[in-house]
C-alpha cells in the first residue's frame, strides 16, 4: 500500500489542482473515479479522484490533511468506521448511520472541518423522480417494498419514508434477523414506523400492492429455501394489479438482472442501478464543487457509464 500511495503521489497528485479519493476495499470494479472525472472535465476543473484501495484508516486520515484534498467517496468497509473521525454530520448521515461522502467546510475561525453525508439516499430518490412521469399515480401514498437487509436497504427505507411519501414499507429478505435489525435501527433513528417484515407468500397475498420497490440484493438465482421464498414473495407483489416502478440497485457486472427481467415481464417500470450510482455521485459533486446538478454534464456521464459497462460485458 505504501508503494502504491507513493506511486500516486509521484506520478499523479502533482498533475491536478485538487484531488480526492475513493476510499474502500475492494474497489477495483468501481466506476466512481470515471464518473467524477467526466464531471470535472465537463465543467473545466483540473481535479481528479484517485482510488485508495485500502483498509488502513490511519493512512486515509493522514492523506486527507493535504491542503489540496477536496473530499472523498467512502465505501465499504468504512461507511460506519469513518463516523468518529468527522466533525459534522448531515441529517441524512445521522439518520442512516453511515457516511459515503466526506466533504470540507470551515468554521468561523477558518478551521477546516471534516463533514460527512450520505448521498446514497439521494441517489435512490432521484432515480425514481427522474424516470417516473407521474409519481402520484405510481407510488405516492402507497406502500413500498425493500428487498434486502444491508446498508442499501436502510438507505432505501429512509428515502421512501422521508421523501417518497410511502404509506408503509414492506421488507423482504431471506434472513429474518437482518430484517429485525433494519426495523430496530430505523425505529431508533426516527423513521421506522410502519415497517413490516413480509416473510411468506401467504402474508404477501393478503397485503395491499406496492408502488415503489427497491431491490438491494446481488444478482443470483435463489437456491436455498429461504432465498426461494423471498423471491416468491417479491414476485407475488410484482404480480398484483397495480404496477409501479422498481429500482434494481445491483449493476455489477451487468445492470440487467433476474429481478429486472421478471419485473419488466410483469409490467413494471424498471430503473437500473447505474442511475442511483450516477445521481448519488452528482450529489457528491454538489458538496465538493459547489455546483448544482444542472451545471454538470449529466447526459455525458450517463453515456460514459453505459459505455464502460458495455465494454465490461464484451
pLDDT in tens, 108-135: 999 999 999 999 999 999 999 999 999 9
**Same fold? 2-118, 122-273:** yes
- Spell out the CATH class of 122-273: alpha beta
**Which sequence spans correspond to the domains of the chain?**
2-118, 122-273
Mean pLDDT of 152-159: 94
Q: Are 313 and 253 in contact (CB under 8 A)?
A: yes
- The residue whose grid cell reads 420497490 is 213
Quote the CA–CA distance of 147 and 171 in Å, as a whole number. 6
Q: What are phi and psi of 128, to 5 degrees?
A: -70, -50
Quote the CA–CA distance of 203 and 200 in Å, as a whole number. 5
- What DSSP state is assigned to residue 145? E
Quote the CA–CA distance of 209 and 141 in Å, as a whole number. 12
Q: What is the pTM of this model?
A: 0.91
- Reply yes or no on whether the pLDDT at 306 is more than 50: yes
Residue 260 vs residues 45, 60, 152, 174, 282: alpha-carbon distances, Å: 37, 37, 17, 19, 24
| b/e per residue 10-49 (b: at least 16 CB within 10 A) | eeebeebebbbbbbbeebeebbbbbbbbbbbebeebebbb
Quote the CA–CA distance of 21 and 41 in Å, as a whole number. 17
Say whether 72 sits in a helix, a strand or coil: strand
| Residues ≥6 apart with Cβ < 8 Å to 17 | 45, 46, 47, 68
7: part of which helix (H) or strand (E)?
A: helix 2-11
Cα Rg, the chain, nearest whole Å: 20
Q: How confident is the model at residue 312 (pLDDT cuts 50, 70, 90)?
A: low
Q: Where are the alpha helices (DSSP H) in 132-272?
A: 135-138, 151-162, 176-188, 201-205, 225-239, 258-265
The confidence score (pLDDT) of residue 3 equals: 47
- SS3 for 241-296 is CCCCEEEECCCCCCCCCHHHHHHHHCCCEEEEHHHHHHHHHHHHHHHHHCCCHHHC
- Helices 273-289 and 120-131, axial angle in degrees (round to 10): 120
- CATH 3.90.110.10 is the classification of domain 2-118: no
Mean pLDDT for the chain overall: 93
pLDDT in tens, 228-277: 999 999 999 999 999 999 999 988 777 889 999 999 999 999 999 999 99
- What DSSP state is assigned to residue 164? S
| Residues ≥6 apart with Cβ < 8 Å to 286 | 292, 293
Amino acid at each position: 500500500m505504501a508503494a502504491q500511495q507513493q506511486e500516486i503521489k509521484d506520478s499523479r497528485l502533482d498533475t491536478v489542482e485538487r484531488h480526492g479519493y475513493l476510499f474502500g476495499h475492494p474497489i477495483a470494479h468501481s466506476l466512481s473515479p470515471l464518473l467524477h472525472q467526466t464531471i470535472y472535465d465537463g465543467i473545466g476543473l483540473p481535479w481528479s479522484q484517485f482510488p485508495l484501495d485500502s483498509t488502513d484508516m490511519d493512512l486515509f486520515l493522514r492523506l486527507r490533511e493535504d491542503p489540496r484534498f477536496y473530499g472523498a467517496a467512502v465505501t465499504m468497509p468504512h461507511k460506519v468506521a469513518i463516523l468518529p473521525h468527522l466533525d459534522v454530520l448531515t441529517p441524512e448521515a445521522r439518520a442512516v448511520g453511515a457516511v459515503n461522502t466526506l466533504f470540507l467546510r470551515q468554521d468561523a475561525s477558518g478551521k477546516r472541518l471534516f463533514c460527512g453525508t450520505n448521498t446514497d439516499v439521494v441517489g435512490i430518490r432521484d432515480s425514481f423522480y427522474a424516470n417516473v412521469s407521474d409519481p402520484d399515480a405510481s407510488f405516492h401514498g402507497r406502500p413500498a417494498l425493500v428487498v434486502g437487509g444491508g446498508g442499501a436497504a436502510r438507505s432505501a427505507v429512509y428515502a421512501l419514508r422521508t421523501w417518497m411519501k410511502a404509506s408503509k414499507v414492506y421488507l423482504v429478505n431471506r434472513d429474518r434477523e437482518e430484517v429485525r435489525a433494519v426495523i430496530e435501527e430505523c425505529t431508533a433513528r426516527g423513521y421506522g414506523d410502519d415497517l413490516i417484515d413480509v416473510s411468506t407468500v401467504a402474508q404477501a397475498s393478503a397485503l395491499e400492492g406496492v408502488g415503489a420497490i427497491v431491490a438491494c440484493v446481488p444478482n443470483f438465482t435463489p437456491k436455498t429455501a429461504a432465498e426461494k421464498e423471498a423471491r416468491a414473495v417479491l414476485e407475488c407483489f410484482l404480480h398484483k394489479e397495480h404496477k409501479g416502478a422498481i429500482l434494481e440497485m445491483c449493476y455489477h457486472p451487468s445492470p440487467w438482472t433476474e429481478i429486472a427481467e421478471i419485473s419488466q415481464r410483469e409490467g413494471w417500470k424498471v430503473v437500473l442501478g447505474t442511475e442511483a450510482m450516477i445521481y448519488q455521485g452528482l450529489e457528491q459533486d454538489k458538496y465538493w464543487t459547489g455546483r448544482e446538478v444542472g451545471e454538470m454534464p449529466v447526459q455525458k456521464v450517463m453515456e460514459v457509464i453505459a459505455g464502460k459497462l458495455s465494454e465490461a460485458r464484451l
